[in-house]
Chain A
Amino acid sequence: MALKKDVDLNSVIAKPLTLKVHSDYIAAYGENKEDYEYCMTEYLRMSGIYWGLTAMALMGELDRMNKGEVLQFVRSCQDPVSGGISSSPGHDPHLLYTLSALQILSIYDEKLSDQEQDKVVNYIKSLQQPSGSFIGDKWGEEDTRFSFCAVACLSLIGRLNDIDVEKATEFVVSCMNFDGGFGSRPGSESHAGLIYCCVGYFSVVGRLDLVDADTLGWWLCERQLPSALSLLGESTLQVVDPTYCMPKSVINKLRLAPQRLNVS
C-alpha cells in the first residue's frame, strides 16, 4: 500500500486567507520570550526574524514590528573578529545568518557602515574553497546552500565581483544530476530546497542558461501532488510540506515551463 502523502482539501478548510490572524500571530511571536521555546530556537533567531518580517512586509504590516530593536539586534550579531554574522548574540557567525541579516537590512532599506560591510565581504571571501565551493563557516562544511548564501549576500550589497564567480559557478554546475536537479554536493540526490538554492544561485549570477530548464521542469512538475498546493522536497515518500510550495509566478520567472507536464 502506498503511503498517504497528500492533504484532503475538504469544505472545513477556510477559503479566505485570514491575514489579520497571521499578522497578529507573527507580531505576538516576536514578543513571546518564554524561556524554553526561546532558548531552543536561538540557533536560528536571525532567519526567524527575516521570515517574520518578510511575511509582515507582504501583508503590508511591517510597521507593527519594532524596527529599532530589530536593527540593533542585527548589528549586535556581527562578529568583530571574522566579520560574519551569527543567529543570535553568543552564537557563532555563519553564512546562513549573514544572509538573513543582510536581507533584513534590505527590507528596511538600511545599510551596514562601510567598515562593517568590508568585514562581511572579507568573511564571505574567506569561505570560498579552491574548488569554487563555499563552506558555511570556518569549520568547513561544504554545501550548495552556502554558494547561494554567498552570492545572494554579495549581490545585495553590490559586491559580487569580490569573489571568483566563475569558479563558484563551476562548482554549482558540478552538482547537477541526470534529472536536471541539484543536491548539496557533487553526486548528492536532487532536493527541492537545494534546487531552489542552485537555481537562485544561477539567477543571481546571471547564468540561468546553465540550468537544463526542460529536464528540471519535468522533475519539478512531478513533485506536485493532486491537491495542487504543494511540492515534495525529495523524490518520493516525504509527506506534503508547505515549505516546498512554489507559486506559479516564481516557476515562470525561472522559466521552468510547468505547462509542459500534463501527464495523466
Chain B
Amino acid sequence: MSLQEDDFPAAEKILADLDNVFRTDPELEDFFIIPVSGNQNKSPVVHADHSLGLESWCVQHLYCYVYGKLINHKTRKKREDPKVVARLLRGALLINPETAAFWNMMKQLIESERVGPEEDLRFSAVVLGFKPKCSEVFTHRKWVLRKMVAQADVQPMAVLKYLQAELRITQLAASKYPSNYNAWNHRKWVLEALAPKGGAEQKELLKQELKLSHCWTSNHVSDYSGLQYRQYVMQTVFSTFRHEDFLCRTEWLLELPSKVEAKCCSSCAAASVLEQELQMLSELIVRYEGHESLWYHRRFVLHSLQKVCVSAVCAKLGASLFNSVVGSERAFASSVCRESKLAHENGHASRHLNWIENVLRITAA
C-alpha cells in the first residue's frame, strides 16, 4: 500500500480551514459531507448556521493524507508536533469516526494537556451530528467525562453542566437515528455516572426524565430503544423513591385514573404508575395502529406489575388485583384483534394474548 502523504497539496489548507471553524464557532453543532463532483477551485470547507460542511471531492484525498501522517507519527516513522497531530486527528475523525486508534491518540493529547477536555467534547459532539450512532464516539465521550468528574477539584455545578449537555446531545443523536441503541445506552450511563446520588436532585432528574420520555414516546411510537430507556427510568424510580416522593409535585406522572390508590404505600404507588402506563399505551395503540414497540413495552409493564403485585406486602395488591388487570388486558387485545384492519396489528394483538398465556403463564379463566 502506498501512503504518499504529500500527494495532496491542498490538505494542509483544508485542515487549517476546518480548525479555524472549530476555533471560531463554539456553538458548532453539525457536520456534513456535501456531494460535489469536481474541485471548484475554492476551499471545500463550508460553514453556515453552526454547521460545518466538507465537499465530497476532497474527502478521499484528505483521508489518505491524514491517515498516512497519523500512522507514520504513531509508529514513530515521522513524529509531528502535538498541535499538528490534534489537527490531523480532527480531520481523520470527522471522516472516519470508527477508528478507535485515533480517538485513543486524542485521549493521549488530553492526558498530556495538549488538548482541553471541554474543547474535545465539543468536537466529538459535532462528529455525532454526522454519525449519530457511532459507538466509538460515545465510548470516547465516556472516557473524557469520567476523567473530568474524577478530578479532585471538580465543582458539583460543573458536573451538572456536563450532565445537562450530555442529555441534550443524546437526545439530538436519538432524534437523528431511529432506535439509536448507543445513544439511549449512553444516556443511561450518564444517569448512573454523572447524576447526583440519592438526594432530592436525583429524584428531580428522574422525574424530568420520565416526563421527557413520555413526550418522546408519544412522538416516536416505533422507537423501542426510547421506550426501553423509559423502562430503565421507571425501574430506577421504583427502586429509589420513597412513598412520599410519589405524592409531591406529580406533574411528572400521567395522572390518569387508576384502580390502585397511590396514596396507600410505595408498592401501591408503583402499581398505580404501571397501571396508568397501560392506559397510556392503549390510547397510543388505538391512535397509531401497527407498532410492535408499543406492544413490547406493554409486556414490560405487565411483567413489572406482576412482580409488584405478587411480592407486595400491602393487602390491597396481590394476585387477585393482577388477575383483574390481566382480564382488562385480554379484553383490550381481543378488541384490537376484532377491530383492526391491519393484518400485522392483528398479529401483534394475538401474539400478546399468546405471550400472556405462555410467558406470564396466566391462563384464561
Contacts and interface: CB of A to CB of B under 8 A. Distances in A.
Partners in one complex: yes
A264 B296 contact: no
A188 B296 contact: no
Interface in B161-211: 178-179, 181, 184-185, 188-189
B351 A35 contact: no
Nearest to A234: B179
5 contacts: A44-B98, A86-B101, A90-B71, A139-B143, A185-B188
Contact of B98 (A33, A43, A89, A185): A43
B13 interface: no
B185 A189 contact: yes
A148 to B, nearest CB: 16
B99 interface: yes
Contacts of A189: 181, 184-185, 224-225, 228
The 9 closest A-B CB pairs, nearest first, are A189-B228, A2-B290, A235-B224, A39-B67, A36-B60, A91-B101, A90-B71, A43-B99, A236-B292
Interface in A37-81: 38-40, 42-44
A179 B299 contact: yes
Contact of B1 (A35, A234, A263): A35
Contact of A183 (B74, B96, B185, B299): B185
Nearest to B343: A264
B100 interface: yes
Interface residues of A, number: 43
B63 interface: yes
B285 to A, nearest CB: 13
A88 to B, nearest CB: 9
| Size bracket of the B interface | 35 or more
Contacts of A187: 188, 232, 235
Contact of A237 (B179, B235, B355): B179
Instruction: Count chain B CB atoms within 10 A of each CB in A35, A36, A44 and give the residue with the most.
Output: A35
Interface string B85-113: 00000000000101111001001000000
Per DSSP, are chain B's interface residues mostly helix, strand or loop, or mixed? helix
B330 interface: no
Given A90-B71, A183-B185, A218-B358, A237 B293 contact: yes
A36 B222 contact: no
Interface string B1-31: 1110000000000000000000000000000
A58 B228 CA distance: 38
Nearest to B66: A39
A191 B224 CA distance: 11
Contacts of B64: 35-36, 39
B347 interface: yes
Interface in A80-111: 86, 89-92, 94
A184 interface: yes
A139 B75 CA distance: 19
